[in-house]
Amino acid sequence: MLALILVLIDQAVKYYVHTYCLLGISKVIIPGLFNITYLENTGAAFSILSNNTYLIIIVSFILLFILYKYLFKHNQYKIVKSLILGGIISNLIDRVVRGYVIDYFDFNIFGYNAPVFNIADICIVIGCIIFMFKTLEEK
C-alpha cells in the first residue's frame, strides 16, 4: 500500500511539473539553495546510459523480479520493499509512457549544484540505505 501511495505522490508532482513548468527553467523556492527545475532524463541515475530507454526498462524489470524473489521472502523488509518498489515503478511508468523520467528537485549545496532528482529517486536511495544497514545489522 505504501508503494502505491509513493507512486501516486511522485506521479502527481511529475504531472504538475510537466504541466506548469517550462523545460529547463528553474523556479526558485529558497534562493541559493533549492529550486524546482523541470528536466527530462532519458538515462538512469545521474543520466547514466542516456538515450538507452529500452535497456533501462529491461533492467528495471529485472530489478523488480530480483526484489520479488529476495525481498518478498523476508517479511521484516516491508518499508524497504515499499520504498524501492514505489520508486522503481514510478520511474518505470515515466520511461514506458514518456520515454524519459521527469526530474524536478534541484539543490545547490555550498556552491555544488547537485544532480536534479525526484521523489522516486529519493525512495530508491533511502530504501537501499535502510536495506544495507539492516543487512549489516544481521551479520
Q: Which residues are bridge partners to 23 per DSSP?
A: 38
Calculate the CA 12 to chain-centre distance: 14
Instruction: Please tell me whether residue 106 adopts helix, strand or coil conformation.
Output: strand
Strand ranges (E), the chain: 26-30, 34-41, 101-109, 112-113
Give me the average pLDDT of each 10-residue run along the chain (139 residues). Answer: 94 97 95 95 68 76 79 73 90 92 93 92 92 80
Domain around 68: 2-138
* 74-78 CB contacts, 8 Å cutoff, 24+ apart: 76/134, 77/131, 77/134, 78/2
pLDDT at 116: 93
Three-class SS state of 44: coil
List the catalytic residues. 103, 121
Number of domains forming the structure of the chain: 1
